Structure 1
Amino acid sequence: MLSSISPLGERARNSRWWLTTTAYLLGSLGGGLTLGALASLAGSALPSTVRTSRWALAVVAVLLLVGLAFELRGSRSLPSWRRQVDEQWLTRYRGWVYGLGFGTQLGFGLVTIITSATTYAVALLALLTSHLAAGLAIGGTFGVVRALPSLLMAGVHDRHQLHGAFSRVEGWARPVAILARVALGVAAVTVFAAAVGS
């Protein structure tokens, strides 16, 4: 999607990049908020004695460690959907419509190609909190962070600049992968510590 929504591509489709990207960012934020809200509401439906029990926390900690193991292997074998929003949207609808659609799908995370175990971790942690405000904070942060790379396309007006933007994104791939691993590890240790302390 990153390559599809650029000033170069939007100009070719007679759309305004800033409007499509704003819709994309808002959609991703909305998708993340929805994911966090649904997961936290699902968590609140569980009795607190179950949700905060030692065994439940231990299971979540183990699941986070399994996610970390997938990340260490490159996360290519994660359970995932193999499709995204139909790319024909790019030619059928206005920029803000497909920007919002793609963004919402990206922010919700579980209904698109899952490239990182952190997607599952977000849902698990929001479920574990069982507080709507905490779920919204977790999901909203997830949604915004997932869409931020789209801002790297701001100055892309020709193919050379597009390749340069891809190079910048590729340059961030390793540090982001390390950050995802650290986040999963810290989350697993934190949940495990809560399990031991309960």
Structure 2
Amino acid sequence: MLSSISPLGERARSSRWWVTTAAYLLGSAAGGLALGAVASLLGALVPEGVRGSSWSLGFVALLLLVGLAYDSQRGRLDLPSWRRQVDEQWLTRYRGWVYGVGFGAQLGFGLVTIITSATTYAVVLLAALGGDLRVGLAIGATFGVVRALPSLLMAGVEDRAALHTVFGRVERWAKSARIVARVTLGVAAAALLAVAVGS
């Protein structure tokens, strides 16, 4: 999606990049909020005593460690995911803000697009484990916004050379992003295990 919404592409479609990107960011935040809300409301259906029990915390920690193992074996193990990310026909059929919101919401909701990291599933698990709508909204909003922020790297891309420069920068940062995702999964699992053992 990063390559589809750029000042270069938006100009070719007679759209304004900043409008489409703002809609994309808002859509992704809204999708994240929806994901966090749904997960936390489903989690709230499980009694708090069960959600907060040491075995529940340990089980979620185990699932996070399984996700960490999947992320660490990228290329050999694939997470359950969707094959298609977005319908590219939207780019020629609708105004920029419409596909910006649509693509952003799909990205922010996370489970309805290509899943590249177990952190997507971790967001759902942690929001459900909390069982509190406010916590779920905070987790989901953070997830949605962080997923869409790379689109801001496209600011100022006016030609193909600048576009390829951004792609190169994203590729260089990809390894660091994977490390951060793995560390996050490991830290969350360790924290849950510590609470489980202490309770």
TM-score where L is the length of structure 1: 0.98
- Give the SS at the match of 1:86: coil
1:20 corresponds to: 20
Deviating above 2 A after TM superposition, structure 1's stretches of 4 or more consecutive aligned residues are none
2:169 corresponds to: 168
- Give the SS at the match of 1:3: coil
Percent identical: 72
Q: Kindly state the Cα deviation for residue 73 of structure 1 after the two structures are TM-superposed.
A: 1.0
CA contact (8 A) 1:85 1:101 kept: no
- Give the SS at the match of 1:82: coil
1:54-73 map, 5 Å: 54-73=54-73
1:129 corresponds to: 130
2: CA distance between counterparts of 1:138 and 1:130?
12
1:37 corresponds to: 37
Stretches of structure 1 lacking an aligned partner (at least 5 in a row):
none
Q: Over residues 93-138 of structure 1, what are the superposed CA-to-partner deviations in whole Å (9 max), with x where a residue is unaligned? A: 0000000000000000000000010000000000011111111111
Q: Kindly state the Cα deviation for residue 85 of structure 1 after the two structures are TM-superposed.
A: 2.4
Q: Kindly state the Cα deviation for residue 78 of structure 1 after the two structures are TM-superposed.
A: 0.7
2:142 corresponds to: 141
2: CA distance between counterparts of 1:192 and 1:34?
28
1:196 corresponds to: 197
| Greater displacement, 155-164 / 77-86 | 77-86
Amino acid at match of 2:90: W
1: CA distance between counterparts of 2:40 and 2:193?
20
Q: Over residues 121-168 of structure 1, what are the superposed CA-to-partner deviations in whole Å (9 max), with x where a residue is unaligned? A: 000000011111111111100000000000000011110000001001
1:80 corresponds to: 81
- What is the root-mean-square deviation in Å for CA atoms of aligned residues? 0.9
Amino acid at match of 2:95: R
- Give the SS at the match of 1:181: helix
Amino acid at match of 2:154: M
TM-score where L is the length of structure 2: 0.97
Stretches of structure 2 lacking an aligned partner (at least 5 in a row):
none
1:152 corresponds to: 153
Report the count of equivalent residues. Answer: 198
Q: Kindly state the Cα deviation for residue 196 of structure 1 after the two structures are TM-superposed.
A: 1.1
| Greater displacement, 110-119 / 67-76 | 67-76
Is 1:107 aligned to 2:108, yes or no? yes
Q: Kindly state the Cα deviation for residue 197 of structure 1 after the two structures are TM-superposed.
A: 1.6
